Amino acid sequence: MEDHFLSIEQKVSAGERLTREDGLFLLNSNELLRIGTLARLVKQRKTGNKVYFNVNRHINLTNICLSRCKLCAFGCDADASQAYVMEPETALSIARQAVIDSPEMTELHIVSALHPDKPFTYYADIIKQIHLEFPQLHLKAFTAVEIAHFAKIANLSIREVLTVLKDAGLGSMPGGGAEILNDRVRQILCPDKASAAEWLEVARTAHQLGIRSNATMLYGHVETHEERIDHLLTLRTLQDETGGFQAFIPFPFHPDNTGLSDIKRTTAWEDLKMLAVSRLMLDNFDHVKAFWIMLTIPIAQISLGFGIDDLDGTVVEEKILHAAGAKTATGISKQDIIAYIRETGNIPVERDTLYHEVKVYDGSDL
Ligand code: SF4
């Protein structure tokens, strides 16, 4: 046991890539602080003391979904009391209000359920209209699952869908819908949405078209440790091929109001270990993000000592994860994010979606 830990420490010191066995060993170890120290070393090499965040706003166009995945508390049938679908004008007015409320906002994050009837043109037109009115805003929109859905309903190839959206003003893609990229797990969690192969094909095609994306992992449900590590290795392999992923975002499953509500929420111990192991395994990802909405602010803040270099954004109005019982606020102020980062001894850096630095809060602002 100790020998294996020492060999991992030597590999990390030397900047060598960790193997599947190394990853499994770390996930099965309870030496959390030792794993965290190693992950922090890797983070320091990549981004020093900088910790990133952005000023953004989420828009979820609809919660009516034809897939009805067991893992999800957001998607619902059209006749459910909470069902909604926004008209394009509503999405535009939310964007307008967001710009008034937060003139320094750089990003709109737009993801939705898989509406059974809305055509692809509905989504492309919303991107086009928002982009025309607010060309300064980066539109990070549509998960790989949504893109695969658009291709099916519009009878277009993934490449054609992405090209239409890019021409309309799509800037990049979020990393959702990856869950665990394993067919056994997806058969249980989400059999009626994009398969692992389809998710990867969308990401690969997006990267080939110059559309950067993120990648997520939803852990803490029916998956094994082996399947978690294989998920990381699958993403690492695609990143070797395309270099198109910006950030990796691991987050725990929130069971409330889902079809798997008997599963217990992961502990802070497990969350911190998963974040740190992700940092260690994904040597070709520049950023590993703690999505505070899912993790809670206390765990996200502590994760800055466990290899995390990004706290996501101000978000403002998050619906999807709160439907699953996330107890966090639906938004956070920029001043609070800066204070949380500062308290850990790191330097808060406001970034845009593509990690260009907007402002470095190095103390000269105090
Ligand atoms: S996870 Fe996505 S595809 Fe599945 S039910 Fe929820 S909104 Fe629909």
Rounded to the nearest 10°, the torsion over CA 18, 213, 244, 344 is -50
pLDDT at 1: 77
Atom 5 in ligand 1: residue holding the nearest Cα: 68
pLDDT at 332: 82
Q: Are 146 and 112 in contact (CB under 8 A)?
A: yes
SS3 assignment, position 109? strand
Q: Is the CB of 253 under 6 A from ligand 1?
A: no
Q: Are 101 and 290 in contact (CB under 8 A)?
A: no
Which amino acid, 129? Q
Q: Are 231 and 182 in contact (CB under 8 A)?
A: yes
pLDDT at 318: 59
Instruction: Give the pLDDT confidence of 107-154 residue by residue, as tens digits.
Output: 999 999 999 999 999 999 999 999 999 999 999 999 999 999 999 999
Q: Are 206 and 162 in contact (CB under 8 A)?
A: yes
Which position has the token pair 């000023």?
Answer: 55
Q: Are 278 and 288 in contact (CB under 8 A)?
A: yes
Q: Is the CB of 72 under 6 A from ligand 1?
A: yes
2-360 topology per CATH: TIM Barrel (3.20.20)
pLDDT at 134: 97
Taking alpha carbons only, the member of 41, 21, 44 closest to residue 33 is 41
pLDDT at 334: 87
Q: Are 248 and 278 in contact (CB under 8 A)?
A: yes
Please identify every stretch of the chain with a pLDDT value under 70, giving residue numbers as ranges.
315-330, 365-366
Q: Are 244 and 201 in contact (CB under 8 A)?
A: no
pLDDT at 178: 98
Phi, psi of 356 (to 5 degrees): -75, 140
Q: Which of 71, 74, 319 gets mutated to test ligand 1 (max ligand atoms within 8 A of its CB)?
A: 74
Instruction: Give the pLDDT confidence of 265-324 residue by residue, as tens digits.
Output: 999 999 999 999 999 999 999 999 999 888 999 999 999 999 999 998 876 665 666 666
pLDDT at 225: 98
Atom 7 in ligand 1: residue holding the nearest Cα: 113
Q: Specify the pTM.
A: 0.95
User: What span, in angstroms and rounded, lies between the C-alpha atoms of 38 and 40?
Assistant: 5
Cβ burial, residue 142 (10 Å; 0-12/13-18/19+):
buried
